[in-house]
Structure 1
Amino acid sequence: MQLDFTEQKTEGRFVMYCHSEALKGDGIRESLNTYNTFVWNKGEEQTVWIDEIPYTFPEQAILPLMGNQHFRFEHPPQLVAWKFNREFYCILDHDQEVGCVGFLFYGIRTPFFITLNAKEAENFEKLQSTLVDEFGERDRFKGEMLRSLLKRLIIKTTRLGKSQTESCHDLADHKLDLIRRFALLVELHFRQQHEVRFYAESLNKSAKTLSNLFALYGQPSPSKIIHDRIVLEARRLFLYTDKSAKEVSFELGFANPEYFSRFFKSKTGNSITVFKSRK
């Protein structure tokens, strides 16, 4: 079953999949109409492929997925999912309301499997039932009610994610916000800005302060996060487009394609030629 709501004026769209074979994400292939997604595995553990990398999706777990990720599932009928575009609800514009940017979405930890105990699963069952009922309404309040329920879903998942992230237990809110802001800045600027200094200055911090904070709470170094994001985008472009190595290097801010080729091989262990041959 697929339930769909679209606002005609804004083209905002909110979709709910209930045990549907149609559930998948086309990532950058669908770049003109991207959606953020929450997927709930209500069955046994299964495999999810994200950008062609297989992961084990635990039973009774929630998985947030971003619009630029390509994903598919081993057993879609075991899943319930909610996806929405930025016209329906923009998590960037409303981060003060839900606090998920740089954590659930555009965060450092990916993929992020958030497990549910029996009580939490029951709460999500109730929320699912309420959403199904609301999708069936026909009045002018439907869009705002669905938006409110989506916000509830995001906040509940964010709270659970924080409770299951050890570093969040020790991090003061302002330090967690600093890490979240860094993650978002990387997402916005990784194509042009490859040095930690740019991000540190944007946050009014020194590069050393950032590195120390990330090390203190067991996070990857800021430089590694930047490099990993560049490599991830390069992989996507090689997997899902026909762009040449030279085109990809320029798109990712490398003036010298040969330097980019060496960078890619040092981070992945494979040359670009070998990687593309495995598509």
Structure 2
Amino acid sequence: MKLEFKNTLEESSIILTDFNCGPAQNLLQDSGYYKIVWARDREFSLTVDGYAVQLKQHQVLFCTTLNLLQVPKESGLIALVFNREFYCIRDHDHEVSCNGILFFGSSQPPIVSLAQKDIRSFEAMFTIFREEFETVDHIQGEMLRVMLKRLLITSSRLVKEMQKISQLPNTQLELLRNFHVLVEQHFKEKHKVADYAALLYKSPKTLSNVFKKAGRPSPLAIINERILLEAKRLLLNSHLSAEQIAHALGYEEGAHFSKFFKSHTGLPPVEYRAKKTKTAQA
């Protein structure tokens, strides 16, 4: 199944699919799409950024345009896939408040387990999505955007509840969101908590205290995780040397990057690439 709305003039696109056909599988090779994947009927094994992810029944995975996703070509799941031109998460953050929570909220894409009431809500929304994809008229695109916004708002609330941050004061919640967004924008050149604290007009201590009170990983851990994720992606999905990757991630000396990488993974970059490549070929 692959139901698509496309505006050629705007180059915008949104697709409802189960990835059970060749054209839908081709979407996974396109780096320009956000992907919301729901294991509606049963458990699935997926691959995200080269790592196996077990998605249990009625769990939902939220991937950004940066995540490399591989999905089995079989029925049982349903996904909504859309590009920035159809709905830009950053430009419309005031509408759905999902930037830094649902997308770009950590180095790993969030996975939400749906309760029974949530399953009913998702079933209703995806039923309406299907109806709108099949209703071709001049307001079809706008109706699909309205439904997408509802899905994003509902999902963001679920992620906040899952991460136990829904009850935080709004100022603290916004600080967490803004920090994650800034890390996504600047992790290649800014590696210190003080860099982000300055951008947020806070002291590093204040920033760390807010994350501690919220039960979140420390700001430094989040920065390091994001750098590591990008390093692993480049090692596994590019032909760049470790030295080139080091420079791409803001390290003046390859040795400093290698030491950082080994301290967090147990292996130097070159050995990590060789090991993962060998495992993938086995």
Residues 1:185 and 2:185 aligned together:
no
Q: Give the Å deviation of 1:43.
A: 2.0
Measure the CA separation in 2 of the matches of 1:101 and 1:69: 15
Alpha carbons 2:19, 2:73 under 8 Å: kept: no
Measure the CA separation in 2 of the matches of 1:138 and 1:47: 35
Give the TM-score of the pair, scaled to structure 1.
0.93
Partner-residue secondary structure (3-state), 1:54: strand
Which of 79, 82, 85 is residue 81 of structure 1 equivalent to? 79
The one-letter amino acid of 2:193's match is V
Stretch of structure 1 that moved more, 234-243 or 13-22 = 13-22
Match in the other structure for 2:16? 16
Measure the CA separation in 2 of the matches of 1:58 and 1:75: 17
Q: Give the Å deviation of 1:261.
A: 1.1
- 1:122-201 aligned at under 5 Å gives the runs 122-169=120-167, 171-201=168-198
Which runs of 4 or more aligned residues in structure 1 lie more than 3 Å from their structure 2 counterparts after TM superposition? 21-27, 73-76
Residues 1:223 and 2:244 aligned together:
no
The one-letter amino acid of 1:11's match is E
Q: What percentage of residue pairs aligned between the two structures are identical?
A: 37
- CA deviations over 1:129-180 (Å, ceiling 9, x no partner): 11111111221111111111111111111122222222333x1121111001
Match in the other structure for 2:261? 264
Alpha carbons 1:37, 1:82 under 8 Å: kept: yes
The one-letter amino acid of 2:241's match is S
Match in the other structure for 1:251? 248
- 1:39-58 aligned at under 5 Å gives the runs 39-58=37-56
Question: Which sections of structure 2, spanning at least 5 residues, go unmatched?
Answer: 278-282
Residues 196 and 143 of structure 1, relative CA distance in 2, 3 Å threshold: same
The one-letter amino acid of 1:252's match is L
Measure the CA separation in 2 of the matches of 1:69 and 1:197: 27
Alpha carbons 2:107, 2:229 under 8 Å: kept: no
Stretch of structure 1 that moved more, 117-126 or 181-190 = 117-126
The one-letter amino acid of 1:114's match is V
Q: Give the Å deviation of 1:9.
A: 1.6
Q: Number of residue pairs matched?
A: 275
Alpha carbons 1:25, 1:69 under 8 Å: kept: no
Residues 1:242 and 2:248 aligned together:
no
Q: Give the Å deviation of 1:75.
A: 6.6
Measure the CA separation in 1 of the matches of 2:107 and 2:169: 18
Q: Give the Å deviation of 1:74.
A: 4.8
- CA deviations over 1:112-132 (Å, ceiling 9, x no partner): 221222232122112111111
Measure the CA separation in 1 of the matches of 2:252 and 2:153: 42
Q: Give the Å deviation of 1:25.
A: 8.3
Measure the CA separation in 2 of the matches of 1:24 and 1:270: 33
Q: Give the Å deviation of 1:18.
A: 3.3
Question: Which sections of structure 1, spanning at least 5 residues, go unmatched?
Answer: none
Q: Give the Å deviation of 1:46.
A: 2.5
Q: Give the Å deviation of 1:111.
A: 3.3
Stretch of structure 1 that moved more, 110-119 or 137-146 = 110-119
Give the TM-score of the pair, scaled to structure 2.
0.92
The one-letter amino acid of 1:6's match is K
Measure the CA separation in 2 of the matches of 1:173 and 1:96: 14
